[in-house]
A = this chain, B = another copy of it.
Amino acid sequence: MTPQAFRHQVRQGGFRKPTAGVCGDYAQANLAILPQAQAADFMRFCQLNPKPCPLLGVGEPGQWQMPMLGEDIDIRTDLPGYYVYRDGERAEERVDLRDIWQPDFVVFAIGCSFSFEQMLTQAGVPLRHIQEGRNVSMYRTNVPNGRAGPFGGDLVVSMRPMVSRDAIRSIQITSRFPAVHGAPIHLGDPALLGIADLQAPDYGDAVTVHADELPVFWACGVTPQEALRSAKLPLAITHKPGHMLVTDVLNSSLAAF
């Protein structure tokens, strides 16, 4: 199925599940929507923190199309789930934003680790959370984000355990893809990031870590969601976790070299 056909299916209500594995050759994106009054600060936040917040596309105020990511995208209907936050609290879950769309909304599409996981899998690097049928392990760290306006908070990371040969290979591969979090930000001792227990992730599921493996940590797309929440904006919208925007952008086209 093409990304376009998939988005049409979502738009017509025919798909309301997580998008992991959908149209695997194409980039998926994290979504953030906020009023123009806060958009400039949020864009500066992303620019300051490119590893957790790599911008794939930013819409013009009021624009629900995203022509840079796909010809007929309607961001109001083409994701299988949305969360609406009011004053920093999750107020509502939706499958359609048309009723609440505002002419001052600015859309941010942020790169997603699904893209580099596809590259790792194609290179024969096993991913434990996929082997074990779980969500990736994610942790809050003690590494502060660069601050912009009301947006700050600490970096959130995802963790994939690997033998060192695969860790080295995965650094090489993900370095080529800065638009989808790029190289890891740390590997080895979790305590150096302020993570006390790998088996107690703050988001996602715990996975098995073998004695001959290193935990490898990437900047995570949950970071901007945390920043949005902690900013306690009157109104902000994100995708429902795992329910991403499927774009027409080939993952392979995101390689920086």
Question: Is the Cβ of A214 less than 8 Å from the Cβ of B187?
Answer: yes
Question: Is the Cβ of B188 less than 8 Å from the Cβ of A164?
Answer: yes
A199 contacts partner chain B, Cβ-Cβ < 8 Å: no
Interface string of A153-179 (1 = CB under 8 A from B): 000000000001101100110010000
Number of interface residues of A (CB under 8 A): 18
A132 contacts partner chain B, Cβ-Cβ < 8 Å: no
Between A and B, 6 residue pairs with Cβ closer than 8 Å are: A164-B189, A167-B188, A168-B171, A172-B175, A188-B188, A188-B214
Q: What's the dominant secondary structure at chain A's contact region?
A: mixed
Residues of B within 8 A of A183 (CB): 168, 172
In the complex, what distance in Å separates the CA atom of A175 from the CA atom of B164?
15
Residues of B within 8 A of A192 (CB): 164, 212
Residues of B within 8 A of A165 (CB): 185-186
In the complex, what distance in Å separates the CA atom of A205 from the CA atom of B164?
24
Residue of B nearest to A211 (CB): B189
Interface residues of A in 116-165 (CB under 8 A from B): 164-165
Residues of B within 8 A of A186 (CB): 164-165, 168
Question: Is the Cβ of A187 less than 8 Å from the Cβ of B167?
Answer: yes
Give the top 4 A-B pairs by smallest Cβ distance, nearest first.
A171-B171, A164-B186, A188-B214, A172-B175
In the complex, what distance in Å separates the CA atom of A12 from the CA atom of B256?
49
Residue of B nearest to A163 (CB): B192
Q: How far is the CB of A210 from chain B (nearest CB, A)?
A: 11
Among B185, B189, B257, the residue within 8 A (CB) of A212 is B189
In the complex, what distance in Å separates the CA atom of A257 from the CA atom of B165?
21
Question: Is the Cβ of B212 less than 8 Å from the Cβ of A187?
Answer: no
In the complex, what distance in Å separates the CA atom of A177 from the CA atom of B212?
27
A184 contacts partner chain B, Cβ-Cβ < 8 Å: yes
Which of A168, A187, A189 has most B Cβ within 10 Å?
A168
Q: How far is the CB of A194 from chain B (nearest CB, A)?
A: 13
Q: How far is the CB of A81 from chain B (nearest CB, A)?
A: 34
In the complex, what distance in Å separates the CA atom of A238 from the CA atom of B165?
31
Q: How far is the CB of A185 from chain B (nearest CB, A)?
A: 7
Q: How far is the CB of A144 from chain B (nearest CB, A)?
A: 15
In the complex, what distance in Å separates the CA atom of A222 from the CA atom of B48?
44
In the complex, what distance in Å separates the CA atom of A165 from the CA atom of B165?
17
In the complex, what distance in Å separates the CA atom of A99 from the CA atom of B106?
79
